[in-house]
Amino acid sequence: MAVDLSNTLIVAISATALFDLDESERYREQLIEQDPLTAAQRFREYMQERENDSLEIGAGFPLIQALLNLNNCGQQAEEGYQNKAPLVEVVIVSKSCPETGIRVLNAIRKRGLCITRSAFISGSKVADYIADFKVDLFLTTNREDAQSVADAEICACAILDATPVNTFDLDTDQLRIAFDGDAVLFDDSGELLYKQKGLKAFHDREAKMTDLPIEKGPYADLLIKLSLLQDRLPPTENFQPIQIALVTARNAPADLRAIKTLREWGVSVDMAFFLGGLEKTSVLKTFAPHIFFDDSVQHIEAARNYVPTALVPYHSTSKLYNHTWTPRTKRSV
């Protein structure tokens, strides 16, 4: 009998986003340069020799740990939870072959992560399998994989870069996520207007359209699903399992439309910061999210040394596509 995960938040993550695999990635690149014909076999042998070695955490690890901890909260909050689908399901999607994936699977067990589903696809296209797992969010260090998922409009997706310096200090008892607004939660029309015609044109439009909801962006459905999880995990007097923050460059008069749009979606974020062009890093350092989603290269670069950051790619048909960051990407394993 098939498992019903329709009410479960499903997150797929590449092995390179969950763990620090830079060393093995560099070695594989070296092998390919030396001899492409023998590289695959030599890399399998290399990984087999190290399959019981521990791995350091990657940029996505604190988020995944905090997400999975919500299942523990669910056990305490919901009667009959044991007979229900989990609140959160995490899937490893790796472009490695199954044999070289053993080290990752061992690392998952050593870290005590309750991840039971995985896909090792030996270099095949990621987007097709992301759709098969009915994923709500896909995190990867590989730009091309993220772009293919974004263009197919399968789910929310983002590119993670290097592990921030304080990742190890993030507590995972409470899940904290920060979202940018335009081109992330909301569609990219506001971002495009601002870049083409300037701030005044953007503010004039927003003032006239205060009561008209903004069209959904690539992360709207993810936010709505997170909000539904919040409803299933009501806060107690001393603890709130999930905190969601909107951290946006919008300010008055564009703030009202954003709040009313979220209300129209049935979503109430815990915090909203309308910064009006101020640097986002200070607020993010205080909020200490497990992940910050933004489409802006500038904001990602400023925050990445303090909190885990994830770049949201534009659809390749968007007029904003040329503004997409070309980060220090890796092969996704």
Mean pLDDT per 10-residue interval, the chain, length 333 residues: 82 94 87 89 89 91 95 67 79 89 94 94 91 96 95 96 70 93 95 91 93 96 95 81 95 94 95 93 94 93 91 93 56 49
Residues 158 and 180 in one domain: no
List all residues 6 or more positions away from 157 whose beta carbon is below 8 Å from its beta carbon. Answer: 130, 137, 138, 139, 140, 146, 149, 150, 218, 312, 313
Count of alpha carbons within 13 angstroms of residue 93, beta-carbon side? 28
* Paired tokens of 38: 């023998």
* Residue 74: per-residue pLDDT: 63
* Residue 322: per-residue pLDDT: 73
Count of alpha carbons within 13 angstroms of residue 149, beta-carbon side? 31
Residues 262 and 238 in one domain: yes
Residues 30 and 52 in one domain: yes
Residues 102 and 247 in one domain: no
* Residue 236: per-residue pLDDT: 77
Residues 117 and 201 in one domain: no
Are the beta carbons of 93 and 14 closer than 8 angstroms?
yes
Residues 286 and 175 in one domain: yes
**CATH assignment of the domain containing 39:** 3.40.50
Residues 138 and 241 in one domain: no
Are the beta carbons of 180 and 53 closer than 8 angstroms?
no
Residues 30 and 132 in one domain: yes
Q: Give how far Cα 68 sits from Cα of 38, 102, 208, 301, Å.
A: 39, 21, 42, 28
The answer to whether residue 40 is domain-embedded is yes
Residues 184 and 243 in one domain: yes
**CATH assignment of the domain containing 311:** 3.40.50.1000
Instruction: Look at residues 163, 184, 204 and tell me which one is the last residue of a structural domain.
Output: 163
Residues 149 and 193 in one domain: no
Residues 116 and 209 in one domain: no
* Paired tokens of 56: 């350091």
Overall domain count for the chain: 2
Expressed as residue numbers, the domain containing 145 is: 9-163
Residues 117 and 210 in one domain: no
The answer to whether residue 261 is domain-embedded is yes
Are the beta carbons of 134 and 5 closer than 8 angstroms?
yes
The answer to whether residue 269 is domain-embedded is yes
How far is 205 from 200, CA to CA, in rounded Å?
9
* Residue 234: per-residue pLDDT: 74
How far is 247 from 256, CA to CA, in rounded Å?
14
